[in-house]
């Protein structure tokens, strides 16, 4: 991890927006399976014309998936960091397309609107 990313993550840890967690491969695997169920559920809801339900489940799928990316850095959001800190950390990652972070943030904003 680049020095700049480490500093940014440390600042979020110090601010209480993130907390350190050890990487747990078993937990990670279980959560990947859980995310798959949310994705399937969102698709089924959409096919049954439940746009509101599909949106809610799709957001949960996206948030959980994004949070799993953070666990690879051995951090997770705290209540203080909320859902917003997820996109903040993802924006530090050079291999994650900026558009994906923008799309996550737009979806997050629509959820609370």
How does DSSP classify residue 96? S
pLDDT digits over 10-57, tens only? 999 999 999 999 999 999 999 999 988 988 999 999 999 998 899 889
pLDDT of residue 108: 87
3 pLDDT band (50/70/90 cuts)?
Answer: confident
| Distance in angstroms between the alpha carbons of the first and the last residue of the chain | 35
> Token pair for residue 73?
């850095």
CA dihedral 37, 39, 45, 50 (to 10 degrees): 130
> Token pair for residue 87?
């996109």
| pTM for the model | 0.82
Instruction: For the chain, give the longest Cα–Cα distance.
Output: 48
2 pLDDT band (50/70/90 cuts)?
Answer: confident
Cβ-in-10-Å burial (0-12, 13-18, 19+) of 53 comes to: middle
CB 93 within 8 A of CB 104: no
Q: In the chain, where are the structural domains located?
A: 25-112
Q: What does pLDDT average to over the chain? A: 91
113 pLDDT band (50/70/90 cuts)?
Answer: low
1 pLDDT band (50/70/90 cuts)?
Answer: low
Q: Which of 93, 73, 91 is nearest to 22 (CA)?
A: 73
pLDDT digits over 53-69, tens only? 998 898 888 899 999 99
């Amino acid at each position: 991890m680049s020095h700049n990313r480490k500093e940014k993550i440390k600042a979020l840890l110090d601010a209480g927006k993130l907390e350190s967690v050890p990487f747990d491969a078993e937990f990670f695997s279980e959560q990947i399976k859980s995310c798959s169920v949310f994705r399937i559920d969102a698709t089924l809801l959409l096919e049954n014309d439940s746009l509101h339900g599909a949106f809610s489940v799709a957001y949960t799928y996206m948030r959980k998936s994004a949070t799993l990316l953070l666990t690879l850095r051995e951090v997770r959001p705290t209540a203080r960091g909320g859902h917003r800190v997820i996109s903040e950390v993802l924006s530090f990652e050079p291999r994650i397309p900026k558009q994906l972070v923008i799309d996550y943030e737009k979806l997050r904003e629509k959820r609370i609107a």
